[in-house]
Amino acid sequence: MLRHHLVLPVSTGDLLIDPLPPITEREVLLSLVIPTYQERHNIAEIIQLLTLELDRSLPNDYELIVVDDDSPDRTWEVARDLYPQYPHLRVLRRTHERGLATAVVRGWQSATGQILGVIDADLQHPPAVLGKLWEAIASGADLAIASRNVEGGGVSEWSLLRRCLSRGAQLLGLLLLPETIGRVTDPMSGYFLLRRATIAGKVLSPIGYKILIEVIGRGDIGKIVEVGYEFQERQAGSSKVTARQYLEYIQHLLRLRMARSGRFLRFVAVGLSGLVVDMSLLYLLTDASTLALPLALGKLVAGESAIINNFLWNDRWTFADLVRTQTSRRQKFRRFLKFNLICLLGLTLSITLLNLIYNFVIRDRYIANFIAIVSVTLCNYWLNLKLSWRSTDSSAPPKIRT
């Protein structure tokens, strides 16, 4: 294998992971990123421990990628000097960008593995847990997280204030992004493995420290497994967390919220355009002054035209990012059939709800209709996200040799 005694270049541009690893002389299964800033006193030990662990469980099938943000203590240089002892080690020195979460993505961009991971350099994440995380992935999980909040996990020496801050941050996340933060017990974890395919093709845009919420928020993640671990106290160096990281966390949550709500607003806008199509056609086809076709026939044509209109807009705009890799005619037609089916289901539901609300809850047909439309829109959106666009071609995750 060609050994670089130079520190490797870092990608720039979008924080986008390719579905296929870059072509190199050697591919591996696992690429583990170790973000560092001012860790010269920890880096040798963490590399040694990780190598011992992985030489046992994945001999010759892993790489360790240190991503250092040009630390003034020259961590990158200390790491690079370890090359002769560790053939699986690579070092990236980043000079144009800063921040933990983006460092992790830059590391993954240069990764050759199908499984990507991250672990802190400061020995607070015990390398021994890697084995269990790997097992979870090998048995089909998309994401395996080392967690402080499941059995076997903990933060023994944390002060009450620190525990409260951590729980408070989690609670805020739950309020703003329940569908993301609520999926795991330790959304703040910085120690996990995931399948490349779950985030490939998505433009990531994290701020600050919390790479895991970005991955769950924007990735296409099915099964998640959490493995307990005890967060160790730092022995050398110091934490870089300050009040600023709390602010960045809130900013990050808001950005993710906007990204997700933006999709819903697009869906609603498309729905309104469908309403215009439906109404106009109904007028043109059935009005006495125009074609005067039978009402049922006119409504059928108008309704189906609105469905086609909505499908095309949603496919090109609302869910465009989800279909980037599924552009064949067959895949598109399958999405259309599912969309059609869900719309018909929505219509049935809407009529039923309208009747139920009008007869049993509130005797005002417009309020009843409004409640029915809002409920059905939410239901339609969710079903289409999960069925028509999210998993058009869901194949089983690739089996991994352990």
Question: Which residues are near Mg ion by CB under 5 A?
Answer: 122, 124
Q: What is the DSSP letter of 290?
A: T
Q: What residue 240 binds from Mg ion, ligand GDP, none (CB within 5 to 8 A, per partner kind)? A: ligand GDP
96 and 110 Cβ atoms separated by less than 8 Å:
no
Q: What residue 113 binds from Mg ion, ligand GDP, none (CB within 5 to 8 A, per partner kind)? A: none
Residue 214 beta carbon to Mg ion: minimum distance, rounded to whole angstroms: 19
Q: What residue 39 binds from ligand GDP, Mg ion, none (CB within 5 to 8 A, per partner kind)? A: ligand GDP
Q: What residue 21 binds from ligand GDP, Mg ion, none (CB within 5 to 8 A, per partner kind)? A: none
User: Of the two residues 130 and 323, which places its CB atom closer to ligand GDP in the complex?
Assistant: 130
Strand partners, 146: 227
Residues 6+ away with beta carbon under 8 Å from 359 = none
Distance of alpha carbon 254 from alpha carbon 248, whole angstroms: 10
User: Of the two residues 29 and 212, which places its CB atom closer to Mg ion in the complex?
Assistant: 212
Q: Which residues bind ligand GDP (CB under 6 A)?
A: 35-37, 39, 67-69, 98-100, 103, 120-122, 124, 190, 239-241
Question: ∠ CA(144), CA(146), CA(147), 5° rounding?
Answer: 120
* Nearest alpha carbon to residue 177 among 231, 146, 228, 215: 215
User: Of the two residues 125 and 263, which places its CB atom closer to ligand GDP in the complex?
Assistant: 125
Strand partners, 16: 203
Q: Which residue is nearest to ligand GDP (CB)?
A: 239
The single residue listed with the structure tokens 């991955």 is 215
Q: What residue 248 binds from ligand GDP, Mg ion, none (CB within 5 to 8 A, per partner kind)? A: none
User: Of the two residues 124 and 392, which places its CB atom closer to ligand GDP in the complex?
Assistant: 124
146 and 192 Cβ atoms separated by less than 8 Å:
yes
Residue 320 beta carbon to ligand GDP: minimum distance, rounded to whole angstroms: 32
Q: What is the DSSP letter of 147?
A: E
Instruction: Tell the burial category of 297 from Cβ atoms under 10 Å away from its Cβ (0-12, 13-18, 19+).
Output: exposed
User: Of the two residues 242 and 327, which places its CB atom closer to ligand GDP in the complex?
Assistant: 242
